[in-house]
Amino acid sequence: MNSHPESSPKISHDLPEPGVPVIRNVNWGGLRTLYIKEVRRFFKVQLQTIWAPAVTTLLFLVIFTVALGGSGRMVALQGHQIHFADFIAPGLIVMAMLQNAFANSSFSLLVGKIQGTIVDYLMPPLSTGELLAGLCGGAVTRAFCVGGAVWLAMVFWPGVHVIPQHFWAVLWFGFLGALFLSLLGVLTSIWAEKFDHAAAVSNFVVAPLSLLSGTFYSVDRLSPTFQAISHLNPFFYIISGFRYGFLGVADSPVLQGSLIILALDAALGLLCYALLRKGWKLKS
């Protein structure tokens, strides 16, 4: 006769039934963790990811103001005469924000595919929307860090006035533009198979569109043909709206530009969501 009492397995009633989702709505903990991971990734090398772009942008300001802004050169914008340095300063700030938002988001998934660590993004209990929000959130944060560093340097630069007149426009168009480039970076990161692919998009798409968007000149001075081409460039509406926040005047209607960029953000967001959900070029 066995002296030991029989032990019956205990059934825990705290565990959910198989197939019943534990996280029913938004996994805020996972989303916060992914966002912090993306922010820490670029903040650990902030000398390269924040301060170096800020110094490069400031050099653009110095070179162009010395070369083109001498003798008190003025720029005509919607009937207003604006000092050349004050005109290009907002465009340089947002241009740096856009380029760094793209650089951050285009690196995330791509380096995972190349190093074989893509499972770190795909395995956690994150929905497609949460994954996309975390990647874009980190890129937008880097964009505003770079923009803040550039703006702070320009505040103390002699001969440049960068005190916002419409702070809401600075934040709104800065956010819309950074989100647009972060989504474009995620799309590039999904498609690219090596760093050369991402660099090609950066050099042949992002850089030309940002430089030919009215950053260094007023679109009103162009011929009608080139004005029409400029109005097809989404970067033009971002820079024009951002400049409106500082100067109070813009090359295009602010509401129209806002709606155009908002629609493009929505379209890019849906495309990235669909590709991430399908696992195109991510799942083998």
The structure's pTM equals: 0.88
Q: What is the pLDDT of residues 115-140, one digit of tens each?
A: 888 888 988 889 999 999 999 999 99
**Average pLDDT over every residue of 159-180:** 94
Helix (H, G, I), strand (E, B) or coil at 113: helix
In a domain, residue 54? The reply is yes
Residue 21: pLDDT band with limits 50, 70, 90: low
Question: What Å distances lie between residue 167 and 121, 155, 164, 270, CA to CA?
Answer: 36, 15, 6, 29
* Closest to 252 measured CA to CA, from 208, 213, 209: 213
Enter the DSSP assignment of 249. Answer: -
Q: Can you tell me the distance from the alpha carbon of 144 to that of 96, in angstroms, rounded to the nearest whole number?
A: 10
Domain annotation covers residue 1:
no
| Terminal alpha carbon distance of the chain | 58
| Per-residue model confidence (pLDDT) at position 18 | 60
Residue 14 lies inside a defined structural domain of this protein: no
User: 46-58: per-residue pLDDT in tens?
Assistant: 999 999 999 999 9
CA 17 to chain centre: 41
Mapped onto helix, strand or coil, the DSSP state of residue 75 is strand
Question: Which H or E element spans position 74?
Answer: strand 74-77
Residue 70's domain comprises: 29-278
Give per-residue pLDDT as tens, 190-222: 999 999 999 999 999 999 999 888 888 888 888
39 vs 158: which has the higher pLDDT: 39
155 contact partners, CB below 8 Å, separation of at least 6: 162, 163
Query: Any idea what DSSP says for residue 253?
Result: -
Per-residue pLDDT, 275: 95
Domain assignment present for residue 19? The answer is no
Average pLDDT, the chain: 88
Helices (H), ranges, the chain: 28-43, 46, 52-68, 84-115, 119-122, 128-155, 167-191, 195-201, 207-211, 224-230, 234-247, 254-278
Mean pLDDT of the 84-100 span: 93
Residue 284 lies in a domain: no
Closest of 101, 104, 94, 102 to residue 42, by C-alpha: 104
Distances (CA, A) of 282 to 71, 193, 228, 279: 55, 10, 38, 5
Degrees, nearest 5: CA angle 252-255-259: 105
Q: Is 64 exposed, middle or buried (0-12, 13-18, 19+ CB in 10 A)?
A: middle
- What's the average model confidence in pLDDT over 26-35? 92
User: Can you give the pLDDT at residue 283?
Assistant: 75
Q: In angstroms, rounded to a whole number, what is the distance separating the alpha carbons of residues 68 and 221?
A: 16
- Residue 143 included in any domain: yes
Question: What is the residue whose two structure tokens read 């669909």?
Answer: 274
User: What is the count of structural domains for the chain?
Assistant: 1
Identify the weakest region by mean pLDDT among 69-73, 127-131, 162-166, 207-211.
69-73
Which of 189, 32, 33, 197 lies closest to 112 in space, CA to CA? Answer: 189
